[in-house]
Structure 1
Amino acid sequence: MDQQSIICTVCPMGCQIHVAGEADVIQSVTGHTCPRGEAYARAEFIHPVRTLTTTVRIMNAAEPLLAVRTEKPVPKTKLFECMEVIQGAVFHAPVKTHQVLIEDLAGTGVNLIACTDSTHCICPAVSLNEPCKP
């Protein structure tokens, strides 16, 4: 039987929850102080997911990087694969908040979206690492 200790992130209490079970069958959940913590621990034990947040390179913009995130959580096992896809991507301004930048990121069925607007900047920027100086 697998045993896993999980720190709950649902509320500020940060309960240390202990889950015991095998594969998709959970035998016991202890250490939680609320029903939300138990539900979180069960989901984390069976199918852990994370919302991926990072930055991507963006050309012709006032800033060289754009904050992005996944629309929904992706399986924890796919995070590195998602980052490999994102790492090679370069986008062009303008970009709007919540605009889909990559559909079906790494075959997860989840889209990568922009967290903020990035306006087009017309200037002789020297490189991607330098902000545009209008």
Structure 2
Amino acid sequence: MIKRELTCIVCPNGCRLVVEMEGKEIVNITGYECKRGLKYAEDEIIAPKRTLTTIVKAEKGHLPVVSVRTKEPIPKELIGKAVMELSKITLKPPINVGDVVVKNILNTGVDVIATRNLYSK
């Protein structure tokens, strides 16, 4: 039996989770104080996801870059590819917080949105 230790990041409690596995099957999860911790442990072991937060180049705006993030978490293994895709684009004003700057990044069904306004110089 393999044991993996995780720290839950869903809430401020930071529960220390222990996931016991037989092969690729979860046998037992301990250490969580709420159902959200249980779901986090299951998701983290089976299909880990992360919210990507980064910057995108901008031109003709008051800033040289605009901060962006995925609207929802995407598969962890796609983070590097998503960053590469975002490095290929350049935004032009006006951009408002919440505007979709890339729709359906890497066919994940998740949009990338602006987290900062960009206006003309």
TM-score for the superposition, normalised by structure 1: 0.82
Radius of gyration: which is bigger? 1
The aligned runs of 1:1-134 (5 Å cut-off) are: 1-21=1-21, 22-23=23-24, 25-121=25-121
Moved more, 52-61 or 26-35: 26-35
Deviation for aligned residue 1:2: 4.4
Instruction: Give distance in 2, aligned partners of 1:26 and 1:76.
Output: 20
Instruction: Give distance in 2, aligned partners of 1:51 and 1:17.
Output: 21
Query: 2:57 corresponds to which letter in structure 1?
Result: R
Instruction: Give distance in 2, aligned partners of 1:85 and 1:2.
Output: 36
Deviation for aligned residue 1:65: 1.1
Instruction: Give distance in 2, aligned partners of 1:68 and 1:62.
Output: 16
The alignment's C-alpha RMSD in Å is: 1.4
Instruction: Give distance in 1, aligned partners of 2:4 and 2:89.
Output: 36
Query: 1:47 corresponds to which letter in structure 2?
Result: A
Moved over 6 A (4+): none
Query: 1:40 corresponds to which letter in structure 2?
Result: Y
Instruction: Give distance in 1, aligned partners of 2:65 and 2:4.
Output: 37
Moved more, 14-23 or 70-79: 14-23
What percentage of residue pairs aligned between the two structures are identical? 32
1:33-91 deviations in whole A, cap 9, x for unaligned? 22221121111111111111111111111111101001111000110110110112211
